[in-house]
């Protein structure tokens, strides 16, 4: 049997794993959710959840992956009788996330091009239109949406075809440090704008958003916890098998515990840094602009660049390039989660490394879903969405108000927290947490946090995750079923 090729170095692994974690979720989700949910209070709750759930699931997944040396589907099959199907849940989540992630990644590429157009005063720039008009026009231009979406899908495929060491690791080892430098450049520019400090107050000062009318009322503690929990899952790329897959390519001599901790910390730090860039920019230059979701990225931020004067397009290009990098390093991990399974299977059956063919086949399916999301244009074009017809037009719940939300709710809202919950139940109660200890202590490493890990994985983490899942269901379905 051919040898399974993995990461060339621990740095490469870290950049790929942090790259998977750092993505659109960090840029538009974290800073806004923090501001709207009590600022510093949210941060503290997020950090506690990251410690008792995020770190535990991250370490658990890396260990499962490295122990079995296989992608999510085979890993669960090898380890468990009761939970052997959980890997499939992960692969299905990866598909659904990819559908809208690639569409949004395509939008980011479009915005790099748009700002370039503004820089050289070409017809493909904003042509004097406001951020909202440009975005509205783009959303209803189905052909353009599909073309950019497919460009993003194709880039993702090409990198994954290159393999883990050759494609993913190389791209992330350059892309992630570059992303960080671009982020710092943007932060420095933004924080020196007048009124930028209001953005900092929005993000960090508890109660500021309510006192200043940015949001109507403070959410209750339960909803803050479930928002923070949902954000954490998506942001850390856990609960669906991406980290199992990356872990399976890691050398046995590397320290799993330390790596898990670094990934969680880096992801949170970069989310905070992204916040230091986008939120103050909105308060300084587009005080009525939306604070989260696609509109924050594509309307509010474009208005910000339009109002920066002649340097605006340059910062626009840097900023959207940074977002493209963040999105690509995440989408390749999603695609790899699916492709790894088929490549492993082919190798087990002695058919050799069929990575290129399987990457292509998987990508075709992803492309189909992505095209649906692009054609829908965030609901602008009224493409039929499942279940939507069951509701009156003014009572459509979030889970089916457009294709993006539909795929997002199934994957991020249900499958990921459910996958995380099942994983901890398996580790805590079926295989036993010793599995993680043994794997972490390969080649003389010591697992310092074992007592803590054991207690969390058995009791605390599953309990928190059940709560998060309940909160997410309630949020998404708007009290429909729960
Ligand atoms: N973590 C990514 C983000 O924050 C999204 C993602 C989820 C990537 C799951 C891979 C797996 O945007």
Atom 7 of ligand 1, nearest CA residue: 237
Give the C-alpha separation, 304 to 284, whole Å: 8
CB contact set of 323 (below 8 Å; sequence gap of 6+): 24, 27, 108, 111, 297
Does any ligand 1 atom lie closer than 6 A to the CB of residue 68?
A: no
Give the C-alpha separation, 145 to 157, whole Å: 18
pLDDT tens digits, 330-340: 999 999 999 99
Does any ligand 1 atom lie closer than 6 A to the CB of residue 240?
A: yes
Residue 479 has pLDDT above 70, yes or no: no
Please give the average per-residue pLDDT across 409-422, as a whole number: 93
Does any ligand 1 atom lie closer than 6 A to the CB of residue 234?
A: yes
Residue 216 has pLDDT above 80, yes or no: yes
Give residue 329 CA to ligand 1 midpoint distance, Å. Answer: 9
211 CB-contact burial (10 Å; exposed 0-12 / middle 13-18 / buried 19+): exposed
Atom of ligand 1 nearest to the CA of 242: 11
Dihedral (CA of 253, 256, 259, 261) sign: negative
Does any ligand 1 atom lie closer than 6 A to the CB of residue 24?
A: yes
Ranges of H-type helices in 122-255: 131-140, 142-161, 170-191, 196-204, 208-211, 221-236, 242-248
Residue 390 has pLDDT above 80, yes or no: yes
Atom 6 of ligand 1, nearest CA residue: 237
Give residue 22 CA to ligand 1 midpoint distance, Å. Answer: 7
Does any ligand 1 atom lie closer than 6 A to the CB of residue 333?
A: yes
Give the C-alpha separation, 270 to 458, whole Å: 30
Give residue 453 CA to ligand 1 midpoint distance, Å. Answer: 24
Give residue 236 CA to ligand 1 midpoint distance, Å. Answer: 6
Query: Which of 158, 171, 155, 157 is CA-nearest to residue 108?
Result: 155
Residue 438 has pLDDT above 90, yes or no: yes
CB contact set of 444 (below 8 Å; sequence gap of 6+): none
pTM of the shown model: 0.96
Q: For residue 186, give both structure tokens.
A: 């943007």
Return the percentage of the chain with pLDDT > 90, whole number.
Answer: 86
Rounded to the nearest angstrom, the gap between the alpha carbon of residue 481 and the centroid of all alpha carbons in its chain is: 26
Longest dimension (CA), the chain: 65
Does any ligand 1 atom lie closer than 6 A to the CB of residue 20?
A: yes
Q: For residue 336, give both structure tokens.
A: 């790899």
* Contact predicate 154/109, CB 8 Å: no
Give residue 101 CA to ligand 1 midpoint distance, Å. Answer: 9
Query: Which of 63, 69, 67 is CA-nearest to residue 449?
Result: 63
Give the C-alpha separation, 15 to 7, whole Å: 11
Determine which helix (DSSP H) or strand (DSSP E) holds 339, and give its type and residue range. helix 312-348
Please give the average per-residue pLDDT across 289-312, as a whole number: 93
What pLDDT shows up at residue 477?
Answer: 78
Atom of ligand 1 nearest to the CA of 236: 1
What pLDDT shows up at residue 476?
Answer: 80
What pLDDT shows up at residue 306?
Answer: 95
Give residue 234 CA to ligand 1 midpoint distance, Å. Answer: 5
Query: Which of 203, 194, 201 is CA-nearest to residue 274?
Result: 203
Does any ligand 1 atom lie closer than 6 A to the CB of residue 235?
A: yes
Atom 10 of ligand 1, nearest CA residue: 237
Give residue 238 CA to ligand 1 midpoint distance, Å. Answer: 8
Query: 17, 19, 25, 243: which to mutate for ligand 1, most atoms within 8 A of CB?
Result: 25
* Contact predicate 364/153, CB 8 Å: no
Residue 478 has pLDDT above 80, yes or no: no
Atom of ligand 1 nearest to the CA of 330: 8
What pLDDT shows up at residue 394?
Answer: 85
pLDDT tens digits, 461-476: 999 999 999 988 888 8
Does any ligand 1 atom lie closer than 6 A to the CB of residue 242?
A: yes
Query: 17, 21, 231: which to mutate for ligand 1, most atoms within 8 A of CB?
Result: 21
Q: Residue 398 gets which letter from DSSP?
A: G
Give the C-alpha separation, 26 to 33, whole Å: 10
What pLDDT shows up at residue 250?
Answer: 96
Query: 31, 92, 234: which to mutate for ligand 1, most atoms within 8 A of CB?
Result: 234
Residue 184 has pLDDT above 60, yes or no: yes
Give residue 440 CA to ligand 1 midpoint distance, Å. Answer: 24
Does any ligand 1 atom lie closer than 6 A to the CB of residue 268?
A: no
Q: For residue 152, give both structure tokens.
A: 């993003």
Q: What is the Cβ-side half-sphere exposure of residue 454, based on CA atoms within 13 angstroms?
A: 12
* Contact predicate 256/55, CB 8 Å: no
Rounded to the nearest angstrom, the gap between the alpha carbon of residue 13 and the centroid of all alpha carbons in its chain is: 17
Give residue 361 CA to ligand 1 midpoint distance, Å. Answer: 22
Does any ligand 1 atom lie closer than 6 A to the CB of residue 264?
A: no
What pLDDT shows up at residue 32?
Answer: 87
pLDDT tens digits, 11-38: 999 999 999 999 999 998 999 899 889 8
Give residue 326 CA to ligand 1 midpoint distance, Å. Answer: 10
What pLDDT shows up at residue 480?
Answer: 67
Residue 402 has pLDDT above 70, yes or no: yes
Dihedral (CA of 156, 160, 162, 167) sign: positive
CA distances from 9 to 237, 238, 331 (A): 21, 22, 21
Please give the average per-residue pLDDT across 153-163, as a whole number: 97
Query: Which of 97, 249, 179 is CA-nearest to residue 171?
Result: 179
Atom 9 of ligand 1, nearest CA residue: 237
Give residue 391 CA to ligand 1 midpoint distance, Å. Answer: 31
330-347: burial string, b at 16+ Cβ within 10 Å, e else: bbbbbbbbbbbbbbbbbb
Q: What is the Cβ-side half-sphere exposure of residue 291, based on CA atoms within 13 angstroms?
A: 23
Give the C-alpha separation, 78 to 94, whole Å: 21
Query: Which of 456, 441, 477, 444 is CA-nearest to residue 66?
Result: 441
What pLDDT shows up at residue 2?
Answer: 55
């Amino acid at each position: 049997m051919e040898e399974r090729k993995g990461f060339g170095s621990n740095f490469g692994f870290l950049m790929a794993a942090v790259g998977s974690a750092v993505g659109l979720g960090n840029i538009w989700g974290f800073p806004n959710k923090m501001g709207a949910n009590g600022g510093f209070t949210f941060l503290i709750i997020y950090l506690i959840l990251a410690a008792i759930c995020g770190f535990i699931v991250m370490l658990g997944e890396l260990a499962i992956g490295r122990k079995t040396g296989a992608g999510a589907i085979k890993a669960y099959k090898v380890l468990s009788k009761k939970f052997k199907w959980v890997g499939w849940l992960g692969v299905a989540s990866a598909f659904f996330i990819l559908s809208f992630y690639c569409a949004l990644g395509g939008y980011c590429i479009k915005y790099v091009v748009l700002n370039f157009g503004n820089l050289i005063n070409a017809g493909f720039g904003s042509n004097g239109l406001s951020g909202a008009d440009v975005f509205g026009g783009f959303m209803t231009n189905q052909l353009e949406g599909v073309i950019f979406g497919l460009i993003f899908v194709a880039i993702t495929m090409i990198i994954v075809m290159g393999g883990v060491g050759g494609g993913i690791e190389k791209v992330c080892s350059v892309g992630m440090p570059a992303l960080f430098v671009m982020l710092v450049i943007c932060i420095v520019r933004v924080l020196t704008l007048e009124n930028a400090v209001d953005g900092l107050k929005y993000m960090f000062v508890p109660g500021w958003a309510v006192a200043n009318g940015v949001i109507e009322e403070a959410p209750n503690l339960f909803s803050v916890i479930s928002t923070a929990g949902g954000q954490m899952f998506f942001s850390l790329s856990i609960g669906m098998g991406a980290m199992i897959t990356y872990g399976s390519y890691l050398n046995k001599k590397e320290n799993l515990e330390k790596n898990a901790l670094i990934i969680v910390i880096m992801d949170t730090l970069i989310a905070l840094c992204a916040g230091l860039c986008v939120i103050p920019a909105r308060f300084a230059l587009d005080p009525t602009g939306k604070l989260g979701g696609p509109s924050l990225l594509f309307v509010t931020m474009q208005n910000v660049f339009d109002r920066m004067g002649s340097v605006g397009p340059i910062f626009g290009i840097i900023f959207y390039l940074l977002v493209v990098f963040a999105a690509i390093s995440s989408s390749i991990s999603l695609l790899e989660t699916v492709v790894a399974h088929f490549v492993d299977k082919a190798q087990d059956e002695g058919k050799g490394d069929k990575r290129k063919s399987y990457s292509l086949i998987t990508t075709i399916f992803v492309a189909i879903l992505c095209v649906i999301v692009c054609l829908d244009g965030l609901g602008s074009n009224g493409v039929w969405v499942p279940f939507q017809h069951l509701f009156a037009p003014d009572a459509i719940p979030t889970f089916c108000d457009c294709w993006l939300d539909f795929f997002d709710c199934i994957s991020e809202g249900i499958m990921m927290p459910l996958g995380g919950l099942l994983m901890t139940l398996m580790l805590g109660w079926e295989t036993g947490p010793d599995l993680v200890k043994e794997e972490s202590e390969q080649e003389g490493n010591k697992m310092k946090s074992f007592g803590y890990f054991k207690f969390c994985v058995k009791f605390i983490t599953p309990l928190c995750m059940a709560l998060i899942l309940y909160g997410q269901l309630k949020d998404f379905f708007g009290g429909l079923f729960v």
